[in-house]
Structure 1
Amino acid sequence: MLDAPWEHVVRTLAGAPFDQKAFAALAPDASAAPAVFRALTERQLIVPDGTDEAAALRASFADRPESSGQDPAGVSAGSWPVTRYGLPQRLTSAAAAGRGPGEPVRVLLIGGCVTQFTEEPLHALGQDLGLDVRTEHMWPGPSAELVRAIARSRPDVTVYQPGVQPFLTGLFDGAHTLGDEERARTLGLMKNALTVAVRALAEALDGSLGLVHNFGPPALSPFGRFDFAEEFGLRRVVAELNAHVDHCVRRYANLMVVDEERLVARHGAPALFDDLVFPFGHHGGSVDPLDERPHQLPALGRALAGEYLACLRAHRAAGRIKLVVTDLDGTLWPGIAADDGFGWLDSDATSRWMHVGLHQALSVLKSRGVLLATSSKGDAHATLGVWEKAGSRLLLSPDDFVLHRITWEAKSAAIADICARLGFAPEQVLFLDDNPVERAEVAAALPGLHVADGPVHGFRELLLSHPALEGGRRTREAARRTETTRAMLRREELAADVDRDAFLRSLDVEVRVARAGEEHLDRVAELFNRTNQFTTTAWRTTPEELRSVLAEPDARLYTARVSDRFADYGMTGACLVRGGEVAAFALSCRVIGLDVAVPFLVAAVRDGSDADPARLAGLGGRIAVTDRNTPARELFLNAGFTADGGEGRYVLTDPGRLPELSALPLKVVLGTAAGPGAP
């Protein structure tokens, strides 16, 4: 939908050939004309001269469920819903002029009218995130229809909302007319149907992201305040359905749950759903009883659209924040710790619980693998001394943070130093501070750094809900990241002014190299996706893609587990040898300083030689230069490869130049599998 001033342009040019220059000459806003022209062209509202638009339109609808002749129940196609809910995307001059072309994201929405409610907010929220979201909607149908729709549209994200009529009407609307035994039987049938639907979705997606709705509980129960007295009351029915959705989804790494139940807990059922006015099983957006139009209150559409895009960002690890730097006095606790101490913990005031809640949120992030550091004005000895003596189980301790910069220097300088020591770009860091002046100073000095705005009491919600602070499914490796990073920093302190080889020998470094098993693909994908410094090609992948690659006869995937006398760093390296080339190599920044890259690479490539090093002659490698992977650029040269022309290609012309592992100042252990202990 275009703003009214553009009507003249559309009416003048409709049906006649024209070019972008002619379009701009008639535009009411010259600065917006290129973006509007591009938007209309991308949506095929402006098409090349000579296009058979009618044929193209017929083709686009040919494979939709409405054209199949029957719906899942065997009723004629004329019974399929044709109503379109929500409003079309509105393209304003200001929006067009202010935004360049975004990253295209295709979203296939499979569900009832609720999923249609999300289309307009998906476009608007996507623009705010730099995404050009295109949506397509289809009503739930047989698995074959689902497969064809996904194959046709090739979506980046597929949303599946289990059909309201088959899943909810019998369970919700008819609950009070059925006995417990009949309700239990119906619930069992619905669980079986969910199992089949989720399996079909996962198989059709072939590794792309799928989002499966669970069920938001209605605000009311047909059993009223005696819902508890029913063996299969509505509360239990919703709980068992949602537990079953979790069970079905968790087995697929490319599927996530859209948690309607959590949205209800956060926003309230009356604000989102319509069962205060409509039947329980209608399960639509909140309504105004005096307005006959469907979906006139957009809260549900906005909430779900936000969840869809948040799931996409979390799944892709897009814009991942790896470090939170927090101020102390006034932020992590009230007052000045060095002067006031921790007596505030003995009160029952709102501020006490607010700060305890912030500590808990940071502890949650630490368990996810996000690192914590402090940057605060003050005396380090006095502040850390009183903090350590506090010893409360409700608070984080100084040891929960990898670095402390408690000085009188500018906080931007302190944070820049922290980033340099940990190898993070400002874009990977979030800063918390109660003082708006400090926030402004840091934001001005470190462009790209994420700075939390607003009052301290809003920080907890930000930390626990922002998708950039969610790193996927929890692993032991992530939970131990603070410990292993602190070990890395201790190593660096010891390494100063010490002979390198002697230093490495003193650390008792051990590298265990083995071929990856099926159970390690999640962690290997995480390594390839998260690593930005020691990566040869910055390859991003999924466990499903890795599984397909490993089925190739000439592909081998290796892992490296690294330990020293300070810590066991876990599975911190991955190497893919494929088609006579080291196709991808990634090593966690926490073990770069242990010089394990070359031993890992050598052990991996030699494993494929069948004890005949000559067979390695001609093995290739490639460095795809990025703005962050400087540490990896000499990997192949250090391992004995030679440059093979330009474009970052290397070749192993003489396998005898590979370093002898026994001569290196660390221990390399070869195995046939990564081992059950690998995270």
Structure 2
Amino acid sequence: MIKTKNFQGQSAVVSPPVTNFRWVFGPTNGTPLSDQLILSPSGEIKGYSHPNERSWRIENYRLLLLNEGGEVMWRSIEAFKDPEGLLTIILEHPGNPDTRFMLKQHAIILPDNTTPPVIKQVKAPLEIQPAPQPSATPAGLSDAEFLFPSDLEVTPIKIGKVLLVGSCLTALYHEQLQARHPETKFDYIPYNFVSVLPEAPPSPASEYDFQYLQIPLRSVLSDRVIWGFRFNEEGFTKTILQDAYSIIDAMLSSAMIYNERHGLLTFVSNFIVPQMSTASSMYERGSNNDLTTIVQRLNDYLNEKVASYKNAYLLNVDAVASTIGKRYILDDLVYFYSHGAVTYQDWDDFGSIARNEPIPPLETVYPVKKDEFLDAIFRQMVTAYRTTKQVDQVKAVVFDLDNTLWRGQIAEHYRPEAQPWPRTDGWPLGIWEAIHYLRARGILVAICSKNDYDYVKNRWDDVIEPKLISLDDFSSVKINWTPKAQNISEICKEFNIKPKSVVFVDDNPVERAAVASALPDVRVIGGNPYLTRRILLWSAETQIARMTEESGKREEMIRGQIEREETRSTMDRSEFLASLHCEVSFIDITSTDQAEFGRALELTNKTNQFNTNGQRWSFEKIADFLKTGGKILAFKVKDKFTEYGLVGVLYLKGTEITQYVMSCRVLGMEVEEFVVAEAVKLLRSAHTGETDIIATIKETPDNTPCREVYLRAGFREIAPENGIRRFILDGDEVPMLPLHIKKA
């Protein structure tokens, strides 16, 4: 053990040896993750960036490395010196003591020291010195956090097991990610050219959270492209492209077998485009004689092909490399253009060959950001997984106005005599555009502002210049002097969503705090307008895996729903229901290939209130349900106000309704009872004679609206089983059928 006085990181500085040296850090029996790690006197870890290792301290005679949440990631269990007197510290993971990492003292002293400290005894106490003032230079966001913001994340997820399929680049991912994320198990299958994958993956397909596929660019282009002079030959590039398209088809077909057989969620990496044009002349840059153009076209083609598979998505690794800087990542500085991998080693480490002038280490010429790249790649995987699983999905964004949608206050800074008015270029225009992109994703936008409504309406066109947004673009507008939490609650009711699905954007910290206190599930942002647009557009929680017809029409449906509720208040219930002219159409979903399947799965996995058991389905499980005799009955609803689209799904098997899910947008129209009657009819059609129909409800904290649906439909409740309520419709009984609804 390293014997020291208790040390709390930020409040004190530890004298040599730990703060005066760089350290080699990594697994005890694997490739080091960094040879530049510094245990800064401030308690920060520098020279190496990863969420698992952000700070350090010494406590109770142990060196502790802490993650970004302040939790202990590594703790020392042993320390010793090698024959050269350099210190090695062995670390263990608290949750998995068999996982061992090490810190090995670098022979090079940090620049502000002239001689290495003398370590007389490893167990000697370390001295405590006053802490220096922190640097005034902000560290900024990490590349991973910049590209894939975590501001809207609420629910942590654990990635248990990942299958990696690909070339030597994926082999690097396997080695490095397993060391950096010991909580996740990574399996690796090498894949080059059109090889055949094993009949089964290393573990059962159902155990993987997802598969990550990287098709090697070299296999697609072949080594013909190395002969650069041939690009001047007529027809050469056309042949290269045609052959490459065919190879992509063949490699995808072979590599996607686990996706097609088991429905395994699959992310496919695109190709990293070379840094510089390879065209023979400036005139030909951007033409088919330029390898950069060819690779860009291959990415476009790969994107189209991946989209044709179910439960598969392309990940833009080229964009990640571009943001971090390809000069720090891509190996085409040294290796041939079509290798398409990353610079992660010194290419002269394969053997020592005498030279007149020794070659310096590669990083002394070309700095490498391997750590940053790997962090971003894994973060890209995790956020894509969050999006596909709809974790913490945002359904509505509510905006304040003053200093949020525009600079300044409309009543103060935009008076006619106050000209010139604040400028709208910069972040205001960025927010306006973001609003339209959110709407395109089916995310509802609303306004909640303490202002005078008539004044804002009359002055809107003066403030919004150019006129890129209008009040009509917002599905709900609350401009009044009512507390904002109350207005947001009303917006949630209008949209039929819960506060946890809402993001509130406001510049005022007092208003943000008030909303967060009254509605703790609402996510609040907006303090820094330079961050707002990126958070709203780049976060996984505002991304949509696949657009459905209903997603595209959500805004229209909500407007119709609000109009419907206004009409409801002017009539008695029977008159109102009859006036709707409601129609329901049914779709039997028998295959995951059907167009409606994606929406049915989306609706099932995001509905909490009218969901008879709260079950969430993976693509794999729902495919198996259909293969083993299960049926999915989906339905669409329309009335005189709007078409609501596909708003409900029933899961049927044998003579049982196993799950019933419906959007609350049509709740109260008696659609729920009408649909049960159709489900009973479908189940009985597969049997002869009088057939009893069973239905079940597992009560959850959120599903109060559906708990009486079967009783209202004419079922009677029988004895529960394992805490699950059971209902039966006797074979000689028919369900209640509302007369004001027609079957389309």
TM-score scaled by structure 2? 0.70
> For residue 163 of structure 2, what is the aligned residue in structure 1?
108
**How far apart, CA to CA, are the structure 1 residues paired with 2:236 and 2:309?**
31
> For residue 271 of structure 2, what is the aligned residue in structure 1?
215
Change (3 A) 1:471 1:32: closer
Please give the root-mean-square deviation of Cα atoms over the aligned residues, in Å: 4.0
> For residue 197 of structure 2, what is the aligned residue in structure 1?
144
**How far apart, CA to CA, are the structure 1 residues paired with 2:546 and 2:343?**
33
Contact 1:331–1:432 (CA under 8 A) maintained in structure 2: yes
Does 540-549 or 206-215 show the bigger shift? 540-549
Contact 2:427–2:530 (CA under 8 A) maintained in structure 1: yes
> For residue 69 of structure 1, what is the aligned residue in structure 2?
none
Answering whether residue 584 of structure 2 is matched by residue 511 of structure 1, we say: yes
| Residue 583 of structure 1, CA deviation | 1.7
Change (3 A) 1:297 1:552: closer
| Residue 569 of structure 1, CA deviation | 0.9
Residue 182 of structure 1, aligned match among 212, 218, 236: 236
Contact 2:263–2:623 (CA under 8 A) maintained in structure 1: no
**How far apart, CA to CA, are the structure 2 residues paired with 1:121 and 1:407?**
55
| Residue 143 of structure 1, CA deviation | 2.2
**How far apart, CA to CA, are the structure 2 residues paired with 1:348 and 1:614?**
78
1:444-493: CA deviation from partner (whole Å, max 9, x where unpaired): 43323222255213222222211111122122211110111122122222
**How far apart, CA to CA, are the structure 2 residues paired with 1:335 and 1:562?**
44
**How far apart, CA to CA, are the structure 1 residues paired with 2:712 and 2:542?**
36
> For residue 208 of structure 2, what is the aligned residue in structure 1?
155
Structure 1 runs not aligned, ≥5 long: 6-24, 47-99, 670-679
Higher strand share: 2
Contact 2:636–2:644 (CA under 8 A) maintained in structure 1: yes
> For residue 305 of structure 2, what is the aligned residue in structure 1?
248
Contact 1:327–1:374 (CA under 8 A) maintained in structure 2: yes
**How far apart, CA to CA, are the structure 1 residues paired with 2:686 and 2:636?**
23
> For residue 86 of structure 1, what is the aligned residue in structure 2?
none
Structure 2 runs not aligned, ≥5 long: 5-59, 65-69, 78-91, 101-154, 347-359
**How far apart, CA to CA, are the structure 2 residues paired with 1:388 and 1:126?**
52
Change (3 A) 1:32 1:300: closer
Higher helix share: 1
Contact 1:143–1:197 (CA under 8 A) maintained in structure 2: no
| Residue 324 of structure 1, CA deviation | 0.6
1:602-655: CA deviation from partner (whole Å, max 9, x where unpaired): 1122133239896331x2112122222211111111112222222233232425
Change (3 A) 1:296 1:463: closer
Change (3 A) 1:276 1:33: closer
> For residue 644 of structure 1, what is the aligned residue in structure 2?
718
SS of aligned partner of 1:364: helix
Answering whether residue 333 of structure 2 is matched by residue 259 of structure 1, we say: no
**How far apart, CA to CA, are the structure 2 residues paired with 1:124 and 1:229?**
40
1:63-112: CA deviation from partner (whole Å, max 9, x where unpaired): xxxxxxxxxxxxxxxxxxxxxxxxxxxxxxxxxxxxx9963421222234
1:248-307: CA deviation from partner (whole Å, max 9, x where unpaired): 211112111111233345444324423234432343335798545796632321222221
Answering whether residue 245 of structure 2 is matched by residue 191 of structure 1, we say: yes
Change (3 A) 1:146 1:329: farther
Aligned-residue identity in percent: 26
Residue 535 of structure 2, aligned match among 439, 462, 470: 462
| Residue 327 of structure 1, CA deviation | 0.8
**1:427-446 maps to which residues of 2 (within 5 A)?**
427-446=500-519
Contact 1:511–1:560 (CA under 8 A) maintained in structure 2: yes
Residue 627 of structure 1, aligned match among 667, 678, 701: 701
**1:47-196 maps to which residues of 2 (within 5 A)?**
103-115=158-170, 118=173, 132-141=183-192, 142-145=195-198, 147-149=200-202, 151=204, 154-167=207-220, 170=223, 173-178=226-231, 179-196=233-250
**1:10-29 maps to which residues of 2 (within 5 A)?**
none
> For residue 55 of structure 1, what is the aligned residue in structure 2?
none
**1:537-616 maps to which residues of 2 (within 5 A)?**
537-542=613-618, 545-553=621-629, 555-610=630-685, 615-616=690-691
**How far apart, CA to CA, are the structure 2 residues paired with 1:115 and 1:342?**
60
Does 183-192 or 143-152 show the bigger shift? 143-152
**How far apart, CA to CA, are the structure 2 residues paired with 1:637 and 1:447?**
35
Does 108-117 or 605-614 show the bigger shift? 605-614
Change (3 A) 1:140 1:454: farther
Q: What amino acid maps onto 1:157 in structure 2?
A: F
> For residue 528 of structure 1, what is the aligned residue in structure 2?
604
**How far apart, CA to CA, are the structure 1 residues paired with 2:227 and 2:292?**
15
Change (3 A) 1:429 1:172: farther
1:497-526: CA deviation from partner (whole Å, max 9, x where unpaired): 632122111111111223236222112112
Contact 2:396–2:445 (CA under 8 A) maintained in structure 1: yes
Change (3 A) 1:140 1:120: closer
SS of aligned partner of 1:644: strand
Q: What amino acid maps onto 2:276 in structure 1?
A: L
| Residue 212 of structure 1, CA deviation | 0.9
Q: For the pair shown, which has the larger CA radius of gyration, 1 or 2?
A: 2
> For residue 488 of structure 2, what is the aligned residue in structure 1?
415
Does 143-152 or 360-369 show the bigger shift? 143-152
**How far apart, CA to CA, are the structure 2 residues paired with 1:300 and 1:271?**
9
**How far apart, CA to CA, are the structure 2 residues paired with 1:330 and 1:576?**
48
Change (3 A) 1:656 1:28: farther
| Residue 316 of structure 1, CA deviation | 0.9
| Residue 34 of structure 1, CA deviation | 12
Change (3 A) 1:498 1:168: same
TM-score scaled by structure 1? 0.77
Q: What amino acid maps onto 1:216 in structure 2?
A: I
